[in-house]
Amino acid sequence: MKKAIALVLCLCSISLYAQSHGLTALDSFPALTFDIRYASENNFCGKNIYGDRKTTYLHPIAADRLHKACVMLQTMKPGWKIVVFDAVRPLSAQRDLWESVRGTPNSKYVASPGGTSLHNYGMAIDITLEDEAGRRLDMGTDYDDFSQLSEPRHEAAMLKAGKLTALQVANRHFLRDLMKRAGWRTIKNEWWHFEVFRREHVKGRFKLIE
């Protein structure tokens, strides 16, 4: 019962915030599809954090840049789509994720609630790509793989060691180049994660989603 109530509250917090703060729903964007991992048990926590969420939201600034990336992808690779794993994330959900890794080596991959993630402002997104046949591009790891294989900063070494292939690295470069051209920033330890601004620019200027 408590779990069900928590899921309902999480969904309500997203919905109410979207209505009252003008977050942009992404479900009408071109060249976009969804695999909201935290709305399932197919995630590193092994439990549903979001409930029955089929779409997600971004701050309008981030949404505009994602829309630009979608339009660019349509032109560059007709039939291809951006697959969204996660976008806006309430701080309450961030606490659940943090508790799953707190005190473990995997904690470096999850922002603590005290520091907050840019997901908590609707200013970050986790994505991959699929081709015109609906096949996910091979990026070398799955989403939320907590290993050096997932870290862009180690790609050259992993390629040299034969742990990543040239195709996998090329697919990552294509995704990064697309998002950078649309105005997004990358980070060094997750190939799937993109941000609009640096954390220090966002904190204090934009509202945190509780």
Locate the domains of the chain by residue range: 2-202
Condensed to tens digits (0 to 9), the pLDDT of residues 48-65 reads 999 888 889 999 999 999
Q: Are 15 and 21 in contact (CB under 8 A)?
A: no
Tokens 């922002």 correspond to: 111
Helices (H), 38-165: 60-76, 91-101, 155-160
Average pLDDT, the chain: 90
Average confidence (pLDDT) over 38-54: 90
Residue 130 has pLDDT above 80, yes or no: yes
Q: What share of the chain is helix, strand, coil (3-state, %, to 5)?
A: 45, 15, 45
Predicted confidence band of residue 3 (pLDDT cuts 50, 70, 90):
very low
Condensed to tens digits (0 to 9), the pLDDT of residues 138-164 reads 999 999 999 999 999 999 999 999 999
Average confidence (pLDDT) over 63-83: 98
Contacts of 22 (CB under 8 A, 6+ apart): 60
Percent of the chain with pLDDT strictly greater than 70 = 90
Condensed to tens digits (0 to 9), the pLDDT of residues 19-36 reads 656 799 999 999 999 999
Q: For residue 124, with 0-12 CB atoms within 10 Å meaning exposed, 13-18 middle and 19 or more buried, which class applies?
A: buried
Q: Please, what CATH class does the domain formed by 2-202 belong to?
A: alpha beta
Residue 208 has pLDDT above 90, yes or no: no
Using alpha carbons only, give the angle 12, 24, 78 rounded to the nearest 5 degrees.
125
Average confidence (pLDDT) over 94-116: 87
Q: What is the pLDDT of residue 11?
A: 47
**Pairwise pLDDT comparison (103 vs 67), residue with the higher score:** 67
Q: What is the pLDDT of residue 149?
A: 98
Q: Which of 190, 146, 195 is nearest to 172 (CA)?
A: 190
